[in-house]
Amino acid sequence: MRPTEEEARAGGRYSYEAWEYYSTDRGRHPRQADEFTFSSVDKIVNFDAFHLIGLLAPRPLLMVAGNEAATAWMSEEAVKKANEPKRLHWIEGASHVDLYDRYVPQVTTELLPFFTQNLAAQTAHATV
């Protein structure tokens, strides 16, 4: 059963932000699940998205994160483990959920310059 607003607020800032996005017209989808599937907790806890991140190179890695995100440390760790070219861009004042819709212009303005520079550099090396 989906938590109430009061229950979500009681869970703290990040719990409320996720509730507010997924439980309101802001991000809710009519076919989405309204409860957390506990059979997936072990998979979430043991999942390491970045243990092979070093294999991405020489593909460019741009990570955009909100500096107020509970997950900000994950972006920092990923960039530390990645090889060049890489960049971590912070969106000041944004949380993790905010990046889904509230800061889209700030996120997208980072994409073109980063990938134009880094993909053009790879193309130049490939043709030499």
Q: List pLDDT tens digits, range 28-60.
A: 988 887 776 666 777 777 888 888 898 888 899
CA distance 13 to 8: 8
Is this structure's pTM higher than 0.85? no
Q: Pick 66 or 39 by higher pLDDT.
A: 66
Q: Are 88 and 80 in contact (CB under 8 A)?
A: no
3-class DSSP state for residue 78? Answer: helix
Handedness of CA 39, 47, 13, 65 (dihedral sign): negative
> For residue 107, what pLDDT band results from cuts at 50, 70 and 90?
very high
